[in-house]
Amino acid sequence: MEPLTETVDLDLEESNDLTFKIKMEGTAMSPAKVRLVCENDDFAYMFNGYGTGEDEVVQFTLPRMDKKLSEGLYSARVEVLVDNRYFAPLQFQINFKKTLSVVAEAIQVTKRTTKPEITVTASSIISSRPAAPAVSAIKFEQKPEQKIAPVIPPVPQIQAPTPVASPGSLRDAFLKKISQDTVPSSLKEKFSK
């Protein structure tokens, strides 16, 4: 096996395709299984390789690995299985990287509120009066009871309907008014009204 000298950089958050040219000599056209192994001390992932239609060209498709691996270097090798025999013709390193991303977060700045200082002081009461008897009762002011008067809604005023005059009486009233408004015969009559 060759030493791990070459490093291949792959995107951890995207699907990646790797293509290799693999030559097999000394065998008839036997079917061969080709796989890519990516490993570290704790685990190993294997990816099957498929022919591309070109002679001796094999392609590996690695899915997104961001949920499975963290960024960093991993040992990798191409394995070929043919006629119950195992070959590892190529070893290299895979460097999984995340694509560059910028994240902005909103931060809410809260002002520290200061509570007002509370101080309590007490002082003794000095009295110049003679001392009262030993038994004293403290009375507190009582809240006066409030009496609530019942609310009586006002009674609406109902007006009696106005009488409607008959057509004959209207005519008589009109004629009477006209007769009163007749032209006075003298100035004295005119201004005496």
Q: What residues have CB less than 8 Å from 164, skipping those under 6 apart?
A: none
Write down the pLDDT at residue 45.
93
CA 108 to centroid of chain Cα atoms: 15
pTM of the model: 0.48
Write down the pLDDT at residue 182.
56
Write down the pLDDT at residue 67.
87
Domains in the chain (CATH in brackets) are 7-97 (2.60.40.10)
Is residue 150 within 8 A of residue 156, CB to CB? The reply is: no
| Binned average pLDDT, 10 residues per bin, the chain of 193 residues | 73 90 75 88 91 87 89 92 87 87 71 71 63 53 64 69 60 68 60 62
Write down the pLDDT at residue 41.
87
Write down the pLDDT at residue 188.
65
Q: How far apart are CA 138 and CA 28, in angstroms?
A: 117
DSSP strand pairing (16-21 vs 57-62):
antiparallel
Write down the pLDDT at residue 73.
92
Classify the phi-psi angles of 4: left when phi > 0, otherwise alpha if psi is within -120 to 50, otherwise beta.
beta
Strand order in the sheet with 7-11: 7-11, 85-97, 72-82, 32-39, 44-51, 57-62, 16-21
Write down the pLDDT at residue 94.
92
